[in-house]
């Protein structure tokens, strides 16, 4: 075959909408993941004042729906994505403001950093939001937020927006303009039914997404302290020395609370260091309290309260605690597990 003939073949491939594997095999099937997303840190001392300025200048209302400011990964070409599958944002709601009711097929959660006085109403169930709480808005659940107190409130929003976009599975619907539910109970209906450890209501069916909509800071704290106290007394339970962790789970199945996102809280004793690990799939970590050093491959990042870190797929991660360090973490691990793509490694 002559060069000319080969040129004509490639031109005819192109004209016919065809592409040969042999010129692209390496790009299509790299030896190991080559994420476009970069390891990156967003610092709370920058995030908070910017969110505050947005609070002064930008009203919350119908259309925009939320005063949520997305963490845009510098490797992801100007898209509002923390990683290729995860959206993370700082949301700011001022005194007496209302974020209107809507629902979407994207699954969501909020992890509260500071403030008080906001209730998120999920499918008509008013759920109070307090610092350190994790609140769920599973896929296609109606939700709006209303603020009844005098200080602004700030939280981390996590959604599976980039994944759902790639999957062409996005649906969105506005709810009524008026706020349907203004009640402010301290315990939601979902907690009345489901927040009793090990006690499953006999009348309730198993569901793919957790029916428990609030995981309270005091329960998370007690679970983590318990692991470290047991460790001090020589009993098993921690992940590794000085490192306790819990996963927020669906009480009907014991599986991840949300279908597309894994949600966890970790606590390191002062001075504790995790092993270096890497896994396929990406994650976002937020420091809830304390300070430390997060190593992402070659990069070492000092982190303090409120800072958020994006960990790309297969990037080696190691965490060192400079004080007692509490970290909230969310990842896309349930997707990889469902698709039999899970892989973990030790040292890079």
Binding site for ligand 1HN (CB under 6 A): 65-66, 68, 89, 91, 99, 104, 108, 143, 157, 159, 161
**How many angstroms separate the Cα of 112 from the Cα of each of 139, 192, 254?**
20, 21, 23
Select 89 or 163, whichever has its Cβ closest to ligand 1HN. 89
Residue with tokens 């994944």: 163
Would you give the distance in Å from CA 66 to the centre of its chain?
17
**DSSP 8-state code for residue 313:** T
- State in angstroms the smallest separation of the CB of 67 from ligand 1HN: 9
Q: For the chain, give me the number of helices (H) and strands (E)? A: 7, 22
- State in angstroms the smallest separation of the CB of 86 from ligand 1HN: 12
Closest residue to ligand 1HN in the complex (CB):
68
Q: Distance (Å, rounded) from C-alpha 313 to C-alpha 283?
A: 8
Q: Which two tokens stand for residue 266?
A: 């970790």
**How many angstroms separate the Cα of 163 from the Cα of each of 81, 85, 121?**
10, 5, 25
Select 82 or 161, whichever has its Cβ closest to ligand 1HN. 161
- State in angstroms the smallest separation of the CB of 93 from ligand 1HN: 9
Q: Distance (Å, rounded) from C-alpha 86 to C-alpha 311?
A: 11
Q: Which two tokens stand for residue 159?
A: 């959604």
Would you give the distance in Å from CA 327 to the centre of its chain?
12
Q: Which two tokens stand for residue 252?
A: 């009907």
**Residue 17 CB coordination number (10 Å):** 6
Select 161 or 272, whichever has its Cβ closest to ligand 1HN. 161
Select 82 or 321, whichever has its Cβ closest to ligand 1HN. 82
Select 90 or 319, whichever has its Cβ closest to ligand 1HN. 90
- State in angstroms the smallest separation of the CB of 329 from ligand 1HN: 19
**Pure H helices in 118-273:** 161-166, 189-194, 217-232
Select 84 or 290, whichever has its Cβ closest to ligand 1HN. 84
- State in angstroms the smallest separation of the CB of 324 from ligand 1HN: 30
The dihedral formed by the CA atoms of 60, 111, 298 and 31, expressed in degrees to the nearest 10: -90
- State in angstroms the smallest separation of the CB of 171 from ligand 1HN: 12
Select 68 or 272, whichever has its Cβ closest to ligand 1HN. 68
Q: Distance (Å, rounded) from C-alpha 284 to C-alpha 76?
A: 15
Select 145 or 243, whichever has its Cβ closest to ligand 1HN. 145
- State in angstroms the smallest separation of the CB of 257 from ligand 1HN: 17
The dihedral formed by the CA atoms of 105, 107, 112 and 113, expressed in degrees to the nearest 10: -100
Q: Distance (Å, rounded) from C-alpha 216 to C-alpha 104?
A: 24
Select 65 or 291, whichever has its Cβ closest to ligand 1HN. 65
- Beta bridge pairs of residue 224: none
- State in angstroms the smallest separation of the CB of 108 from ligand 1HN: 6
Residue with tokens 């279908």: 259
- State in angstroms the smallest separation of the CB of 80 from ligand 1HN: 9
Q: Distance (Å, rounded) from C-alpha 88 to C-alpha 109?
A: 10
């Amino acid at each position: 075959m002559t060069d000319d003939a080969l040129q004509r073949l490639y031109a005819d491939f192109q004209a016919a909408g065809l592409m040969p594997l042999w010129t692209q095999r390496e790009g299509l099937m790299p030896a190991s993941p080559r994420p476009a997303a970069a390891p990156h840190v967003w610092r709370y001392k920058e995030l908070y004042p910017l969110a505050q300025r947005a609070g002064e200048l930008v009203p919350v209302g119908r259309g925009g729906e939320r005063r949520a400011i997305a963490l845009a990964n510098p490797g992801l070409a100007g898209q509002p994505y923390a990683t290729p599958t995860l959206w993370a944002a700082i949301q700011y709601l001022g005194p007496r403001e209302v974020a209107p009711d809507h629902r979407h097929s994207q699954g969501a959660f909020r992890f509260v950093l500071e403030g008080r006085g906001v209730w998120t109403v999920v499918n008509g169930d008013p759920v109070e939001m307090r610092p350190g709480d994790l609140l769920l808005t599973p896929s296609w659940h109606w939700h709006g937020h209303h603020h009844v107190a005098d200080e602004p409130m700030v939280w981390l929003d996590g959604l599976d927006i980039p994944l759902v976009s790639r999957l062409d599975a996005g649906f969105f619907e506005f709810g009524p303009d008026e706020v349907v539910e203004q009640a402010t109970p301290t315990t939601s209906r979902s907690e009345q039914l489901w927040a009793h450890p090990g006690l499953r209501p006999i009348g309730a069916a198993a569901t793919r997404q957790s029916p428990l909509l609030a995981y309270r800071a005091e329960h998370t704290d007690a679970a983590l302290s318990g692991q470290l106290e047991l460790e001090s007394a020589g009993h098993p339970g921690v992940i590794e020395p000085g490192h306790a962790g819990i996963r927020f789970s669906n009480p009907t199945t014991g599986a991840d609370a949300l279908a597309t996102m894994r949600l966890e809280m970790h606590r390191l004793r002062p001075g504790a260091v995790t092993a270096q690990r890497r896994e396929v799939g990406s994650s976002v970590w937020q420091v809830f309290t304390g300070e430390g050093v997060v190593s992402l491959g070659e990069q070492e990042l000092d982190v303090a309260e409120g800072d958020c870190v994006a960990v790309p797929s297969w990037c080696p991660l190691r965490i060192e605690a400079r004080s007692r360090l509490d970290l909230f973490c969310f990842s896309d691990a349930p997707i990889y597990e469902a698709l039999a793509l899970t892989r973990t490694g030790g040292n890079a």
